Amino acid sequence: MIKTLWKEILRGKTLLRTLTNLWASSIILKGNGVDLGARNGKSSYYRFLKKDDDCNLMFSDLNPQSDDVLQVDLEKTIPLENESQDFLILIYVLEHLFDFQNCANETCRILKKNGKLYGSVPFLYQIHPDPDDNFRFTKSSLEKIFKQAGFSNIRITNLGFGPFSAGISQYVGVFKIKVLIFVITYFGIILDTLINRLFKNHPRVKAENFPLAYAFEAEK
C-alpha cells in the first residue's frame, strides 16, 4: 500500500484517490457495461481496474464531446434498455446529484439479473462542484438508498485510517513538494494505526468513524 501511495502522490493524487484506486484493483469488469461518471478512460482508477477479455465498456457524460460517448442526465431516465448491462460504474458521482435516488433506481433497472454496480462517494472531503456538490452519505444511508432501488448483496467499504490521516488530508494539498506530502500523509496513517491499537474500539479514533470516502458494490 505504501509503495502505491508514494507512486500516486508523485502523480498528484490524494490519499482519498489512492485508496479508491486500491479498492478498484479488486474489481474485474465482465460483459457489457457503462461508466456513468467518466467521459473517457483517463480517470486514475482505470490504471487499477481489471477487464475480462469479454469486457465491452462505454462512457457517458452530461455534455459529451464525441459521438462515441453516451449523453446521460443521471437525474432523468437513462437512455439504456431494461436489463441491458452486466455492470455499471458510479465513482464519485452521487454527491453531485440532487435526485440521487433516481440514479440508483435507474441503475437497478438497467442492470441484468446478477449485474453489478460499482462506485464510491466522498465523506470527509472538500466541496467540489461539478457542476454542483449536494450531499455526503453515510454507510447506513447508502445501504438504504440501494435497498430502496432494489439491490441486494450491498457491500460498503470504508476508505480511511482514522482521524489523523483524515485531518491531514484536508490541508496537505497546500504543500507543493510531493515528498513532503507523502511524509506527512504517511505519518498520519502511522499515527492512526498506533492510536487504534492503543485505544481499540474507542469511537473517537475508530477508522470507521472517520472515512475519507465510501466505496460500494451492489448486485441486482
- Any idea what the CATH number is for the domain that residue 122 is in? 3.40.50.150
Average pLDDT over residues 1-7: 92
Confidence of residue 209 (pLDDT cuts 50, 70, 90): very high
pLDDT one-digit tens code per residue, 138-183: 999 999 999 999 999 999 999 999 999 999 999 998 998 999 999 9
> What is the per-residue pLDDT for 172?
93
Query: Percentage of residues in the chain with pLDDT exceeding 70?
Result: 100
How many domains is the chain built from? Answer: 1
> The C-alpha cell of 85 is what?
448491462
Q: Which domain range does residue 80 map to?
A: 2-219
Inform me whether the pLDDT recorded for 34 exceeds 90.
Answer: yes
Among 46, 38, 98, 102, which Cα is nearest to 70's?
A: 38
> What is the per-residue pLDDT for 185?
96
Contact 59/41 with Cβ under 8 angstroms? yes
Strands 213-219 and 111-122: antiparallel
Inform me whether the pLDDT recorded for 200 exceeds 90.
Answer: no
Confidence of residue 216 (pLDDT cuts 50, 70, 90): very high
Inform me whether the pLDDT recorded for 203 exceeds 90.
Answer: no
Cα–Cα dist 93/95, whole Å: 6
Confidence of residue 9 (pLDDT cuts 50, 70, 90): very high
> What is the per-residue pLDDT for 84?
96
Q: What is the residue whose three cell numbers read 481489471?
A: 50
pLDDT one-digit tens code per residue, 111-134: 999 999 999 999 999 999 988 999
- The larger pLDDT score, comparing residue 106 to residue 42, is at 106
**Which letter, b or e, does each residue of 110-136 get, where b requires 16 or more Cβ atoms within 10 Å of its Cβ?**
bbeeebbbbbbbbbbbeeeeeeeeeeb
